């Protein structure tokens, strides 16, 4: 592994992975999400990972299954602990853009 920089396209129309884990990183993965108005990523689980969502632009909600709903706006960071079912929904009129980071929990 070596230090490196990845430049994101602010006009990207589709999501893409940034880091995919080893050998580029020790354990974490990340991606750039592009979510059109009224769209969602779909319910999914963090399983044995924790996840952070770093919002760059747009307005959304982090919806925890059976739990709370959290507002996501520019310059906010959402967090999901391990074993958490959740969904991200774009609730605004513009594209929601965020970076997701998933890290494995040490065993």
Domains and CATH numbers, the chain: 16-104 (2.60.120.10)
CA nearest neighbour of 91 among 13, 35, 51? 35
Residue 90 in contact with residue 59, Cβ under 8 Å?
yes
**Residue 75 structure tokens:** 């310059």
Alpha helices in the chain (DSSP H): none
Distance of CA 1 to the CA centre of its chain: 23
pTM confidence score: 0.91
Q: What is the pLDDT of residue 80?
A: 95
Query: In this structure, what DSSP letter does residue 102 have?
Result: E
| Interval 9-68: pLDDT, tens | 888 999 999 988 888 888 889 999 999 999 999 999 989 999 999 999 999 999 999 999
Q: What is the pLDDT of residue 27?
A: 83
CA nearest neighbour of 20 among 42, 35, 1, 34? 1
């Amino acid at each position: 592994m070596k230090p490196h920089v990845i430049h994101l396209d602010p006009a990207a129309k589709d999501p893409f992975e940034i880091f995919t884990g080893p050998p580029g990183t020790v354990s974490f993965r990340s991606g750039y999400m592009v979510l059109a108005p009224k769209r969602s990523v779909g319910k999914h689980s963090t399983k044995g990972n924790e996840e952070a969502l770093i919002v760059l632009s747009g307005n959304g909600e982090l919806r925890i299954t059976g739990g709370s709903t959290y507002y996501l706006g520019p310059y906010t960071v959402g967090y999901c602990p391990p074993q958490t079912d959740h969904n991200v929904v774009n609730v605004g009129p513009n594209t929601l853009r965020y970076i997701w980071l998933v890290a494995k929990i040490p065993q």
